[in-house]
Amino acid sequence: MSKAAKVVAALAVADLTERQGRSEHKRLSEEIRHHDALYHDKDAPEISDAEYDRLRQRLKAIEAKFPQLVDPLSPTQQVAPLPSTAFAKVRHARPMLSLDNAFTDEELQGFLDRLRRALERETDLKPEDEIALACEPKIDGLSISLRYEDGEFTVGATRGDGTTGEDVTANLKTIKDIPHTLKGKAPKALDVRGEVYMERHAFQAMNKRQEEAGDKSFANPRNAAAGSLRQLDTTITASRPLRFFAYAWGEAEPRSWKTHTEYLELLRGWGFRVNPLSQLCGTPEEVRAFYRQMAVERPSLPYDIDGVVYKVDRIDWQERLGFVSRAPRWAIAHKFPAEQARTRLNGILIQVGRTGALTPVADLEPVNVGGVMVARASLHNADEIERLDVRAGDMVVVQRAGDVIPQILGFVPEERPKKTAKFDFPTHCPCPLATPVKAEEGGVVRRCSGGLECPFQQVERLRYFVSRNCFDIEGLGGTHIENFFNDGLLKIPGDIFRLPGRVDEIRKREGWGDLSVRNLVAAIEARRTIALDRFINALGIPLIGEATAKILAQEYGDPDSWLAEMLAAARERKHKPDDVKKEKAAVEIGPSYGRLCNVEQIGVTTADAMCAFFSEGHNVEIIEDLRRQLTIEGVTRRVVADDAPLKGKTVVFTGELSTMTREAAKARAEELGAKVTDSVSKKTSLVVVGENAGSKARKAAELGVQTLTEEEWAKLAHG
């Protein structure tokens, strides 16, 4: 997200201009579609349900203020992304719509008020009459429609886009809760709808088996259920502990029931599992009491729920109320707030990272927090443990920061065991070498002094080497890396590319068959050609991450030049006085070291870390070993023509651009020879000022830097 977009995103909807609203509507729509695809198609969400709900709420609020922005392609008008092409498509006899959400008691009251107004207007409901609502826990699983004809299960499909879903009939037939033949008398044609889910204890056991086998583990039971159901191999689905609750219908010919609760009883008679917690509530007070009860019982339930669903019980009233947009007017989901949970702290573990940093980690009794099973939470450092004063045996409060990262908020004093002891941070690394731990001067990080001799650091460096943003070698996960390291198959990164010559040894190992070995060899061979920036990133050089690696690759162009310059800079750095801190003085130390210090976003501190890495002969040997086995591709450096209009100029963009994206504007500036940066200084040549510009425009004025409007920039950029 651009900085201008961040400014708009931070504004209240009531404060948005129409232009800002249009821009924010476009951004939110794209973001929601992205997360919809991850959630529904890949079963791999990047954000929590609560964060996703906030995106949708803001989009709906913008559309309420600017109705002209509503169109059929808006996420508010659609149920979900189109079904994937991996399965045959099934058209639902009646659409599978989703529900609107209520997040507060005020929003629930608004729903109840709308119901009453509509029913008093369209039915014989009197002001003194109550509206009975069927209430049930909202299962956090995968919505499914089951088609029965003459009592026989014929087709099962996912929700898909609400109109068309994926045919997962064969997989659904492996779930014991789904009857193949209905008991008793049922409609001739019937669509039973409900939720496929996975109970928490079964999920934990399955994830443990997945990890032990070196296979993918799932973030939460919902992802596990969705991923298990959408397998092309039905034997995999059959091996997964899936369950099913039935709670609704689509087409039903003929339909005999007159209320939702009557239908639930029929479902039980036909052989389906119906949630036993479902309850008919006759008054708003009973509805709110049911919600509070579910919130209390939520942690102890065997499955995940993320709210409560309320439905008008009378079917004739449902039919009179009808639908609006993508949701029924007669039902709503009352979501729980972002969750905190209490659980037992079993102990504090110490993890050693690839740079030797010792990180304390809370070992927790597994607990569901906001839809994710949490068994570990970082305690960051010794100072944080001291601040929290958490001890083994404590009952602690856990939440997910930003609904993403698990964190310990503190302990529950009244539940602290009588005999507890403060945690003593180790003075020696827990690795077999037991090397001393040193605290960084002026910092809170404590590091193992064993360097690359520490086996824990070696394993973590190897894990990083094969990770997604580095060599991205599929089939060589963390568990495999550790096992191969402990058994002597891997010690240094180059050993990875020698594994294809040791397939006979690997094939003898537990869990490694012919297919998995062939896949591993293919994945390794596919990575024998690598881009220079990925290669630099994979080395795990302190302070050098993905972005900095790209900058270095662009600066030096090819692996020979880069390596030669780094070795030269390391030699020159040996003569640098300890009190040299500024880049101007650093340039005087030597040409290679000075060049490195002056690379954009590098500076003295990062340059020193790079030089320290290349001063270690062992690291250079690792690089040379890899170069003998790999083809490292350089990058095409951008050549600026001598007559480029902005050659040698430094340009900054600020504010919201309406005629082009920020990325397009930057790319055009670079084509014209400019260097684009994000901060304004005396070195800045000009600042392009868009709408709602902030501090950068003010700083440019203070420094006397030339500014251009977007229109003036467009004339300059395109003539």
Give catalytic residues, as residue numbers.
138
Measured CA to CA, the distance from residue 485 to residue 276 in angstroms comes to 50
Read off the tokens for 381: 């450092």
Map tokens 């669509």 to a residue: 191
What does the DSSP assignment read for 263-312?
A: HHHHHHHHT----TT-EEE-SHHHHHHHHHHHHHHGGGSSS-EEEEEEEE
Measured at the alpha carbon of residue 609, what is the angle toward residues 607 and 613, in degrees to the nearest 5?
Answer: 115
Backbone phi, psi, residue 200, to 5°: -65, -45
Residues paired with residue 190 on neighbouring β-strands, in sequence order: 148, 252
Q: How many Cα atoms within 13 Å fall on the side-chain side of residue 415?
A: 14
Q: Which helix (H) or strand (E) holds 416?
A: none
Using the 8-state DSSP alphabet, how is residue 104 labeled? S
Single-letter amino acid code for the residue at 417: P
Task: Write the DSSP assignment of 29-64 as a string of letters.
Answer: HHHHHHHHIIIIISS--SS-HHHHHHHHHHHHHHHH
Partners of 332 in the β-ladder: 310
Q: Count each helix (H run) and each strand (E run) in the chain, helices first.
A: 26, 26
End-to-end CA distance of the chain: 28
Q: Which of 465, 635, 470 is nearest to 553 (CA)?
A: 635
Residue 331: phi and psi, rounded to 5, are -145, 155
Instruction: Respond yes or no on whether the N-terminal peptide bond of residue 254 is cis (omega within 30° of 0).
Output: yes
Residues 6+ apart with CB under 8 A from 308: 135, 136, 137, 138, 290, 291, 294, 333, 334
Tokens 């959408």 appear where? 230
Contact 607, 569 (CB under 8 A): yes
- Both tokens assigned to 658: 């309406």
Residue 710 pairs in a beta bridge with none
* Cβ-count burial 467-489 (b if 16+ within 10 Å, e if not): beebbebebbbebbbbebbeeeb
Q: Specify which residues 407 forms β-bridges with.
A: 399
Which of 340, 339, 349, 338 lies closest to 395, judged by CA? Answer: 340
Residue 24's closest CA among 58, 52, 74? Answer: 58
Q: Which two tokens stand for residue 255?
A: 């339909």
As a whole number of angstroms, the distance between CA 5 and CA 24 comes to: 7
Q: CA dihedral in degrees (549, 552, 558, 564; nearest 10)?
A: -110
Tokens of residue 177, six digits: 């809760």
The rounded distance, in Å, linking the Cα atoms of 208 and 343 is: 20
DSSP string, 452-487: GG-HHHHHHHHHHHTSTTTT--TT--HHHHHHHHHT
Residues in the chain: 719
- Tell which residue, 354, 355, 357, has the closest CA to residue 380: 357
Task: Give the residue carrying structure tokens 């409609």.
Answer: 187
Answer whether 458's CB lies under 8 Å from 465's CB.
no
Distance, CA of 294 to CA of 288 (rounded, Å): 10
> Residues 6 or more apart from 435 whose CB is under 8 A from it?
428, 429, 448, 449, 450, 453, 454
